[in-house]
Structure 1
Amino acid sequence: MKKILQKSLILCFVTTLFLSLFINSSTSVYAETDSLDIKAEGAILIEASTGKILFEKNADKVLGIASMTKMMTEYLLLEAIHDKSVTWDQQYNVSDYVYRISQNRSLSNVPLRADGTYSVQELYEAMAIYSANGATIALTEIIAGSESNFVKMMNDKAVELGLEDYKFVNSTGLNNRDLIGMHPEGTGAEDENEMTARATARLAYHLLKDFPEILDTASIPKKNFREGTDDEIEMSNWNWMLPGLVYQHQDVDGIKTGSTDYAGFGFTGTAEREGVRYITVALKTDSYKARFDETRKMLDYALGNYSFEEIFPKNHQIADQETVSVVKGKEDSVTIHTTTPITVLVKRGENAEEVYSGTLSLEEEQLTAPVKEGTKVGTFQVAQNGGLNLGFITAGGHEGLQSNVVTEQAVEKANWFVLMMRGIGGFFSDIWNGAANGIKGLF
């Protein structure tokens, strides 16, 4: 009885110890990100090239985005520029709607003359640097003929980019009440644009990936609109984290702020250090400064703790699966290897080889000669098995963690004589094996 009690106590101790270690290991993964204490209704932090998510808070809560809306307007403009349906030097004559909105200095604006003519380049800089609302609407008229048509384009593009939980009702991010009764058709007089932090980050991810030149303008701290004319106005970038501005951060170079009564103060930021870029979203913070404070927390955490590490080089051969068998060939197997290196984002203190592992998936168990050099035979897929794993901002994020596997050499088809002799050898081998098995069965 005493021995049974001792065994029970030991078993209880071991079980408790195991559970303690498991709980501590699982919760410690989140402890550091929880300590960021991001004071925003919704927030997210991603690595920009892969879209890997490093932190999120209420990332799927739908909130107002205010002028961060202009990232979609910028996307559609830059797409039109690339398609050559719009040019930078294209001239625009101011409509009555754009004129009236641009004169409202309680909103962010550069006043446009009713009889003025402006280039796409000028209007774009006013939008990207100064968040000028009249200039933004002017661009929508250039691209789509009207803001109503443009809003349809925005929502269509959101579907194409895989955004979820969004609503675009105008091109600027203003509340529709500010559009003096001329808000886009099909939208309400009090409507306002909304997205989640996740959708906002996905939009920023695509904007930077498809049109990295956006940063050439978004990173300008100050510029004069219509410099050297009577209409000259200094445009100071509302992104006060840019170097040289009030809350500067040496690595920040974009992207877009936003604020309305409904949305609070938000910011989609980006920074790059040593070739690694991050994107942050902070939605509905309490003040102008707070959105930059919360962004700084996320950026400094990422910039100080993560780096890329190559865990499987190009031409990597998978252990115990270095070859694939070949039938009807001069050789009975061929060496295989990966075609591209695989790099992963690793947190400081993590052992990449413990956190990540790879699996080979073959398309066929054997090949038939002739086989060309470089023939694809399968895929080497890397998966994260430990550490903080919040997935990727896009469904295709895992594609960067895989490599095609191909043959290293060519294998020629064996000639008819060799194939015949193999066949004869196989025939007699089968007879011999059958006879041997028969004899064994007698004893």
Structure 2
Amino acid sequence: MKRKLFRSAVAGILAFVLLVGSGTFTKTTHANEVTDWNLDAAILIEASTGKVLYAQNPDALLGIASMTKMMTEYLLLEAVEEGRVSWDDQYSVNDKTFELSQDRALSNVPLRRDMQYSIQELYEAMAIYSANAATIAIAETIAGSEEEFVKMMNEKAAELGLENYNFVNSTGLNNTDMKGYHPEGTGATDENVMSARATAKLAHSLITEFPEVLETSSIPTKTFREGTDDAIEMDNWNFMLPSLVFGYEGVDGLKTGTTDFAGYTFTGTAKRGDMRLISVVMNATDENGVGSYAARFGATADLFDYGFNNFSMQEIVPANYTVEGQETLPVGKGKEDSVAIESKDPIHMVVSNGQEEAYKPVLQLDEGLLNEAGELTAPIEKGEVVGSLTVDLGDDSLGFLDENSASSVHVDVVTTEGVEKANWFVLSMRAIGGFFGNVWDTVTSTVKGWF
């Protein structure tokens, strides 16, 4: 109950200060340009394309605190999908999870020694309340021990193509706070670290592959063990959920994190219309260098405002598009000597408002399909992929989250009809015609040379 009263008091104080307009808790709204935030790093991306809209020191290795739990969520949801873990599986509390869970200052739901807990309720405690012992219980269920789970975390990070990361535990706690129970093979003072870009990429992978995570991360409050003597109200630490004190329209996730080492961090996501944004802010402080909830949520709100106010999803290139001057490809050994080509699908991309015309379509042919004369060789099927269409990003230096995301602005270019191979007689006549044509060209050139 002390934890509950403390959280309620904090929320009340924040709400009051926001209402009276204290400079300490200012929040810039409807930002149309990037402002100078007191952050060690930040990044903003559009989720469907992975397009980076803003980046500040995105590749620095920094503490991530409980944003770590996004990896634990990923591995759990993957294990459930693959049938290795069930939501109804029961976890039996051991000395480690019991002792850690009794420390409410570490963000926990207390677990009883003589109780079993379902993976479902442990997952909700982790995703909503950032409960640390519950997170370790999940790690032990999946891998047998937290030590083995940490190995899985780092292996999955490599598999996802993350760079600049190191996981030492499943929760994001500093190992010093784990009462001697930190995973074997890690240092007593170690803490999980990632870059803002790697953190955004993890979040992007999580909500893309397991969008159901947002159903839980968007729950503002829920009772743990409702109807029992252990019932505890779990208030979501993400105060940007629309009904909470820093409520922001469209926010439905994702994970906060706070330690002395990492400072106030937050990976947020919000959707408005057909555009979803993912942001990461790391070690957010106010103008006096003091970390706070208001600093991280205020900076995140500014990032979201910047994204939603200045960018939109646009159809840059329609389906069935043909590049001027490259509407056809020559065909060798076919009944026709050329074939029409066009893009198969449209290209959608998030663009800065009013800059739609700055992106130019670029045709990239598959050189491996062309002979030395630059021709396709018959026979050719209708709808055969002969290359791709992309867009020239011009002087856009931010690019995409990774190469896989960049492929979102590539669509196939296909033939619009089939071309049959010409029969031997036609090919022979063409060869003869070509021979005499060459002879005639030689003769005329020679005769012209006489005069």
Fold agreement, TM-score > 0.5: yes
How far apart are 1:228 and its partner, in Å? Answer: 1.1
Where does residue 334 of structure 2 map in the other structure?
329
The equivalent of 1:202 in structure 2 is: 201
* C-alpha contact (below 8 Å) 1:52/1:391 kept by paired residues: yes
Which residue number corresponds to residue 240 of structure 1? Answer: 239
Root mean square deviation of aligned Cα: 1.4
Instruction: Between 124-133 and 319-328, report the one with greater CA deviation.
Output: 319-328
Q: Does 1:173 align with 2:172?
A: yes
Aligned in 2, Cα 1:381/1:250: closer, same or farther, shift over 3 Å?
closer
Q: Does 1:295 align with 2:295?
A: no
Q: CA offset at residue 321 of structure 1?
A: 0.8
Q: Which residue of 2 aligns with 1:361?
A: 365
Change in Cα spacing, 1:417 to 1:332, as seen in structure 2 (3 Å) is: same
1:314 correspondence with 2:319: yes
Tell me which residue corresponds to 2:24. none
Maintained 8 Å contact 2:34/2:303 = no
Partners of 2:334 and 2:195 in 1: CA distance? 57
CA distance in 1 between counterparts of 2:392 and 2:405 reads 12
Moved more, 314-323 or 134-143: 314-323
Give the superposition deviation at 1:361: 2.6
C-alpha distance in 2, partners of 1:153/1:329?
A: 55
1:372 to 375, 381, 384: 381
CA deviations over 1:387-420 (Å, ceiling 9, x no partner):
x430111122221111221111111122233222
Quick check: 1:335–1:408 contact (8 Å CA) kept in 2?
yes
Which residue is equivalent to 1:400? 408
Q: Deviations over 1:363-402 (max 9, x none)?
A: 222122221111222222222014x430111122221111
User: How far apart in 2 are the matches of 1:195 and 1:418?
Assistant: 65
Could you report, residue by residue, the CA deviation over 1:60-82 in whole angstroms, capped at 9, with x for unpaired residues? 22221111110111011111011
CA positional deviation for 1:33 = 7.9
- Distance of 2:402 and 2:320 partners within structure 1: 28
Letter in 2 for 1:46: I
- State the partner residue of 1:258: 257
Deviations 1:291-346 (A, max 9, x none): 10000000011111111111211111111111111122211111111111111211
Task: Note if contact 1:151-1:170 (Cα within 8 Å) is conserved in structure 2.
Answer: yes
Q: TM-score, normalised by structure 2?
A: 0.88
User: Normalising by structure 1, what TM-score?
Assistant: 0.90
2:106 partner SS: coil
Find the counterpart in structure 2 of residue 162 from structure 1. 161
Q: What's the counterpart of residue 109 of structure 1? A: 108
Q: Is the 8 A contact 2:175 2:188 kept in 1?
A: yes
SS at match of 2:412: strand
Between the aligned residues of both structures, percent identity stands at: 56
CA distance in 2: counterparts of 1:246 and 1:405, whole angstroms: 50
2:84 equivalent in structure 1? 85
CA distance in 1, matches of 2:61, 2:421: 62
How far 1:423 moved relative to its partner? 2.3
Secondary structure of 1:106's aligned partner? helix
Which residues in structure 2 correspond to 1:30-69 (within 5 Å)? Answer: 35-69=34-68
What is the rounded CA distance, in whole Å, between the counterparts of 2:164 and 2:208 in structure 1? 21
Change beyond 3 A, Cα 1:133–1:113: same
For the 8 Å contact 1:221–1:236, the answer to whether it is kept is yes
The alignment partner of 2:183 has SS state of coil
Taking the aligned partners of 1:357 and 1:341, their CA distance within structure 2 comes to 11
Give the Å deviation of 1:264: 1.0
Partner of 2:394: 385
Alpha-carbon deviations, 1:153-204, whole Å to 9, x = none? 1111111112122121111111111111111011111111111111111111
Provide Cα deviations, 1:82-115, integer angstroms capped at 9, x if missing partner.
Answer: 1110011111111111111111111101111101
Q: Matches of 1:337 and 1:35 in 2, distance apart? A: 39
User: Could you tell me whether the CA contact under 8 Å between 1:357 and 1:385 is conserved in 2?
Assistant: no
Change (3 A) 1:36 1:246: same
Taking the aligned partners of 2:118 and 2:392, their CA distance within structure 1 comes to 49
SS at match of 1:412: coil
Find the aligned partners of 1:357 and 1:170 in 2 and give their Cα distance.
46
Q: Distance in 2 between matches of 1:397 and 1:383?
A: 15
Q: Name structure 1 gaps, 5 residues minimum.
A: 1-31
Q: How many residues align?
A: 410
Q: Which amino acid aligns with 2:89?
A: Q
Residues of 2 paired with 1:349 and 1:34: CA distance? 15
- What is the rounded CA distance, in whole Å, between the counterparts of 1:35 and 1:66 in structure 2? 26
Equivalent-residue separation in structure 2 for 1:124 and 1:205 (angstroms): 19
